[in-house]
Chains A and B, each alone.
Chain A
Amino acid sequence: MSEQQTITLYPSRQFKDNARAALQDGELRTSLRTAMDYLMAKRLSAFPDGDELATLRTLGETIRQRCLAKLPELLEKLEAQLTVNGVQVHWAETTEQANEIIHDLIARRGGTLAVKGKSMVSEETELNHYLEARGVTAVESDMGEYIVQLAGEKPTHIIMPAIHKTKAHIAQLFHDKLPDTPYTEDVDSLIRIGRNALRDLYLKADVGLSGVNFAVAETGTLCLVENEGNGRMCTTVPDMHIAITGIEKVVEKLTDVVPLYSLLTRSAIGQPITTYFNMISSPRKTGEKDGPREVHLVLLDNGRSQAYADEQLRKTLQCIRCGACMNHCPVYTRIGGHAYGTTYPGPIGEIISPHMLGLENTKDLPTASSLCGACGEVCPVKIPIPEMLMRLREEEQRPAGEVVAHPLRGQGAAHTGKEALAWRTWRGLFGQPGAYKLFGWAATRLRGLTPPGQLGWTQNHVPLKPAAKTLHQLVRERDAARR
């Protein structure tokens, strides 16, 4: 695949426009609704015992909180153990640093082709563009990721990247982009086309890139969860394997992965287990006949330490990236992942992206929620997502100059003079009985003057109009009638 890809990016400040456009797209909405209904039903069937689910979620939460409480020590232990095992560890504070490290490693071997297993962190760093601009082609090998890369898009879901596409879209895409490919909507044939296109690349690739689901400090083991086998290909066939992950992915003990893995696959896709659970602890040892001779791990911060600094916001980092919060979110289900304009969409994206991109770039995300609470209820590690959203709403309204213990990047980004005035007026009216009474009197008499267009409200609702009588009046009348 030598063709330069054009990726469509939607800055998250355009969230409202994107959401509006997505809502008008009937085909997209049907795809999403069908997929999310399916995934919700699958998850439910994977947890037939409510007691087991409740206990397992608490166990998952406790494990993640224990690992986060020891995070700096565990990262050092992971590094030490991996180094003993022969894996080289690199640290990156920013996405730019991470990309540089990876490019340098590839360039050192004169590499020009990398095959990639699924890695949301590499989406976060925009690694493919970075490498492409420097003469290294990075090909996504997860079927869904391969499809969105061919289409020049970003994944719309962290587990099901191409969930917004129908088989007709994919048939056309393969027909248009892959040489000598006939148009077919038969899914088995489409998968075979993808398989054949990628198999050659595993052979030729200089480097395999992957993400990490759990990095075990105790044994220095990188765990990868997958169904397709492309992750195994990328981490086994090329002579160099570079894994990239966020600093929060470290777990203390090997036994920690057992409940977390069970929670992950059951919550994500309702499977009791995935086809492969790939545990990598070292490069090829003397005498072994395959596997990469070099294995590298890049640990990325990119705003995670900001979330870590505050004990409440730290819970964001408990996430094991199952996507269940998206599948159950009434907002995500209606607009899909692209509208968010961020690597991580849906509820988890709303609470993690502000740390990565700053509230100034994500100010619409904390309010892209009805606070229905479904995300928090299904989260396998019990992240109180609605509570996090409320906190971020507070932080984005906090005046930029206000000094707080843990300032967030972009603090006060959603603060506007108009909104502040509205709340001051509200407080004035509702805090003083006389003013409140006067307001009620005026509103019921002037109700005929309410305008038909009321800013954002009337885009989706009928105009607000005060009632003819205040609640106080109605109660007084009712009491009088009873007497």
Chain B
Amino acid sequence: MSARDNILAKLRAAPRSAPVEPDIAAHFEHFGPRWNEVEALRHWAAMMRSVKTDIVWCHAADWPQRLAEQVKARPVRSLLLAPQTAHGALAHAALEHNPLLTLKSFDRVVDEWKDELFNDTDAAFTAVRCGIAATGTLVLWPDADEPRTMSLVPPTHFALFDTRTLHADFHTAMTREAWPNGMPTNALLVSGPSKTADIQLTLAYGAHGPRDLVVLAVLPHHLTVAQLEDAA
């Protein structure tokens, strides 16, 4: 008998009672947050800021400009983006005139340029699939255009977040978007830049992943930045 057969046989030989089916949806229905649009965004921003995330509120018309300003204000000399995507093309157009900046794209498999990615790429710009208000979270589903290492290896991550995709909590995000019907190679929840408190419980950012996370939070037309910053 193989190890597999032995293990399964031992488990099957054990007495088992019929399990109780938990009602997960009912729990989140009862205890889940009840926010309006602005409250949800404020909570999301407050949570993300509490873990050293920079939030830059903007609109569809001006986010490329805001991105360019953010890049200029930071010690970023090279930035990785996906010009073949619509948002990547807009970012590229906004950044290409910066003489101090080299733009790079993930145009070949990582194995061919790992060294450069690790040692000579200051930042990356990617889109975000959706957000989670309760925990101050961005959800990323990396793909062929914006691979997994883009949001991991460069020390600064610029993330473009369409705030209309903000869900109240993780359960709502997962069920409304029907994740159980099909998961990508890698799905990620990201709540701030990488951190650790492993040395004497002292919090330090930039453990292994990005040290800085900058979110360009694109608001719908009917919301102004002032509405969000009043109390955020």
Q: List chain A positions with a Cβ less than 8 A from chain B.
A: 31, 34-35, 38, 49, 52, 55-56, 59, 62-63, 65-66, 69-72, 75-76, 91-93, 97, 141-144, 147, 160-163, 165-167, 170, 187-188, 190-192, 194-195, 198-199, 202-203, 218-221, 227-230, 232-233, 236-237, 239, 247, 253-256, 258-259, 261-262, 269, 272-285, 287-291, 299, 301, 305, 308-311, 314
Most chain B Cβ neighbours within 10 Å, of A203, A310, A314:
A203
Q: List chain B positions with a Cβ less than 8 A from chain A.
A: 2-4, 6-8, 10-22, 24-25, 27-28, 30-31, 47, 51, 106, 108-111, 114-115, 118, 134-137, 143-144, 147-149, 152-153, 170-171, 174-175, 179-180, 182-202, 204, 206-210
Cross-chain contact of A258 among B19, B21, B24, B183 (Cβ < 8 A): B24
Complex CA distance for A56 and B152, rounded to whole angstroms: 32
A227 with B196, Cβ < 8 A, contacts A59-B24, A62-B20, A187-B204 known: yes
The minimal Cβ–Cβ distance linking A344 to chain B, given in whole angstroms, is: 19
Q: Please give, as numbers and ranges, the residues of chain B lying within 8 Å of A274 by CB-CB distance.
A: 191
Q: Please give, as numbers and ranges, the residues of chain B lying within 8 Å of A259 by CB-CB distance.
A: 24, 27
The minimal Cβ–Cβ distance linking B35 to chain A, given in whole angstroms, is: 15
Most chain B Cβ neighbours within 10 Å, of A71, A227, A289, A309:
A289
Contact between B209 and A232, CB atoms less than 8 A apart: yes
The minimal Cβ–Cβ distance linking A214 to chain B, given in whole angstroms, is: 13
Complex CA distance for A65 and B152, rounded to whole angstroms: 36
What are 12 of the A-B contact pairs (CB < 8 Å)? A75-B8, A91-B7, A160-B198, A165-B199, A167-B199, A187-B200, A195-B208, A227-B207, A254-B183, A275-B190, A280-B186, A301-B7
A291 with B200, Cβ < 8 A, contacts A233-B208, A237-B149 known: no
- Closest CB pairs A-B (n = 3): A229-B209, A144-B198, A229-B194
Contact between B147 and A275, CB atoms less than 8 A apart: no
Closest-by-CB residue of B relative to A65 is B19
Q: Please give, as numbers and ranges, the residues of chain B lying within 8 Å of A218 by CB-CB distance.
A: 180
Q: Please give, as numbers and ranges, the residues of chain B lying within 8 Å of A59 by CB-CB distance.
A: 22, 24, 27
Complex CA distance for A276 and B186, rounded to whole angstroms: 12
A279 with B187, Cβ < 8 A, contacts A59-B22, A59-B27, A187-B204 known: yes
Contact between B114 and A228, CB atoms less than 8 A apart: no
Contact between B135 and A255, CB atoms less than 8 A apart: no
The minimal Cβ–Cβ distance linking A424 to chain B, given in whole angstroms, is: 34
Contact between B19 and A70, CB atoms less than 8 A apart: yes
The minimal Cβ–Cβ distance linking A109 to chain B, given in whole angstroms, is: 14
Contact between B51 and A275, CB atoms less than 8 A apart: yes
Complex CA distance for A301 and B108, rounded to whole angstroms: 41
Q: Please give, as numbers and ranges, the residues of chain B lying within 8 Å of A65 by CB-CB distance.
A: 19-20
Contact between B170 and A258, CB atoms less than 8 A apart: yes
The minimal Cβ–Cβ distance linking B229 to chain A, given in whole angstroms, is: 22
Complex CA distance for A276 and B25, rounded to whole angstroms: 23
Contact between A308 and B207, CB atoms less than 8 A apart: no
Complex CA distance for A165 and B199, rounded to whole angstroms: 8
A143 with B207, Cβ < 8 A, contacts A70-B19, A167-B200 known: yes
Complex CA distance for A256 and B22, rounded to whole angstroms: 9
Contact between B20 and A236, CB atoms less than 8 A apart: no
Cross-chain contact of A227 among B109, B171, B195 (Cβ < 8 A): B195
A199 with B11, Cβ < 8 A, contacts A70-B19, A143-B198, A291-B147 known: no
A290 with B206, Cβ < 8 A, contacts A72-B12, A284-B185 known: no
Contact between B22 and A63, CB atoms less than 8 A apart: yes
Closest-by-CB residue of B relative to A189 is B204
Q: Please give, as numbers and ranges, the residues of chain B lying within 8 Å of A188 by CB-CB distance.
A: 204
Contact between A228 and B24, CB atoms less than 8 A apart: no
Most chain B Cβ neighbours within 10 Å, of A59, A165, A247:
A59
Contact between A191 and B204, CB atoms less than 8 A apart: yes
A309 with B188, Cβ < 8 A, contacts A191-B207, A272-B135 known: no
Q: Please give, as numbers and ranges, the residues of chain A lying within 8 Å of B179 by CB-CB distance.
A: 219, 254
A288 with B147, Cβ < 8 A, contacts A76-B8, A276-B190 known: yes
Complex CA distance for A190 and B24, rounded to whole angstroms: 42
The minimal Cβ–Cβ distance linking B85 to chain A, given in whole angstroms, is: 14
Q: Please give, as numbers and ranges, the residues of chain A lying within 8 Å of B209 by CB-CB distance.
A: 228-229, 232-233, 275-276
A289 with B108, Cβ < 8 A, contacts A62-B20, A259-B27 known: yes
Q: Please give, as numbers and ranges, the residues of chain B lying within 8 Å of A310 by CB-CB distance.
A: 14
